[in-house]
Amino acid sequence: MAFTGLFLIFFLLIHGYVNANVLFENGEENFNRAANFMSTNALIRIMEIGLFAGFIIHIIQGYALERMNRAARSNKYAVSGVSKTSTWYSRSMAILGTLILLFLVIHLADFWVPSRFGGLEEVTYGSVETHNLYAKMKEVFSKEWAVIVYVVGCFSLAWHLLHGFQSAFQTLGWKHKNYAGIIEGIGVGFSVIVPLIFALMPIFMYFGWELPIGNITLLF
Ligand code: HEM
């Protein structure tokens, strides 16, 4: 769980970095170019297989772990209660994980399916012809309910990460007492900042906002 979790955390970092282009002026071209690179680069396409495998393994292991925890709890306690030391999100990883899974199904149907199987308009920048995923985002995030679903999805992700990040380090034995504070700080920072950046995307697109920094591109 820890390895697949950290792999998915790494994916989120790259995905957030590429997509954050949409928050800025010139976001349409910068984001479409970056997304085009990601979807045409052979190495990244191979990693995509690993990514889907990582998600599936992580989900299966998560449900298996939850079943084991439930069985252990019902054996130990006469009254079906929960450990005082475990926090709310530690106990609710499966519920939050399920919410994220639902979010992912909607999300892949919105973007990944039309991107891979057709249904997107094309746009040309110089000699590069690519899918206009930016226009697709505008279309998806013109609906209030979609914005709400995505923001709730990002909120669930933040809570899931708050526990999962430091738990992965603990499982792998990388939580030496001298660095525990630093690791916890990085974990909390990542768990709040990355989902927040994701959540800003549907909100910015719905309201037509863009940060007035036009000539930077976050990737290319
Ligand atoms: C909330 C803001 C988000 C936006 C606007 C967004 C946008 C996109 C877009 C446009 C694609 C299609 C890329 C392509 O096919 O070339 C995509 C793919 C994907 N997204 Fe997101 N995403 C968001 C959040 C997330 C989150 C929070 C997760 C994970 C929990 C996630 C997981 C994925 C996965 C697994 C893919 C398929 C990866 C691939 O193309 O190989 N996304 N996203």
Give the start-to-end residue ranges of the domains of the chain: 2-75+88-207
In this structure, is the dihedral angle defined by the CA atoms of residues 143, 136, 195 and 97, taken in order, positive or negative? positive
97 — pLDDT class (breaks 50, 70, 90): confident
Residue holding tokens 């000539």?
A: 215
How confident is the model at residue 199, as a pLDDT? 98
Q: How many CB atoms lie within 10 A of CB 118?
A: 8
Identify which of 107, 148, 165 to mutate to test ligand 1's pocket (most ligand atoms within 8 A of the CB): 107
Q: State yes or no: pLDDT of 87 exceeds 60.
A: no
State pLDDT tens for residues 197-219: 999 999 999 999 999 887 666 65
Which of 48, 62, 43, 50 lies closest to 1 in space, CA to CA?
62
Which atom of ligand 1 is closest in space to residue 136's alpha carbon?
Answer: 10
Cβ–ligand 1 contact at 201 (below 6 Å): yes
How far, in Å, CA of 103 to CA of 97, rounded?
10
Q: Give the pairing type, strands 122-125 and 128-131.
A: antiparallel
- Ranges assigned E (strand) in the chain: 122-125, 128-131
For the segment 161-176, the average pLDDT, to the nearest whole number, is 81
47 or 173, which is more confident:
47
Rg of the chain over Cα atoms, rounded to whole angstroms, equals 19
Which atom of ligand 1 is closest in space to residue 44's alpha carbon?
Answer: 41
Q: State yes or no: pLDDT of 82 exceeds 60.
A: no
Cβ–ligand 1 contact at 140 (below 6 Å): no
State pLDDT tens for residues 101-140: 999 999 999 999 999 999 899 999 999 999 999 999 999 9
65 — pLDDT class (breaks 50, 70, 90): confident
Ligand 1 atom 40, closest CA:
112
How confident is the model at residue 88, as a pLDDT? 60
Residue holding tokens 């906002």?
A: 209
Whole-model pTM?
A: 0.89
Which atom of ligand 1 is closest in space to residue 150's alpha carbon?
Answer: 1
143 — pLDDT class (breaks 50, 70, 90): very high
Average pLDDT score over the chain: 87
166 — pLDDT class (breaks 50, 70, 90): confident
Q: By the 8 A CB rule, do 32 and 111 touch?
A: no
Ligand 1 atom 31, closest CA:
104
**Burial class of 47 by CB neighbour count within 10 A (0 to 12, 13 to 18, 19+):** middle
How far, in Å, CA of 35 to CA of 201, rounded?
15
Q: By the 8 A CB rule, do 136 and 28 touch?
A: no
How confident is the model at residue 130, as a pLDDT? 95
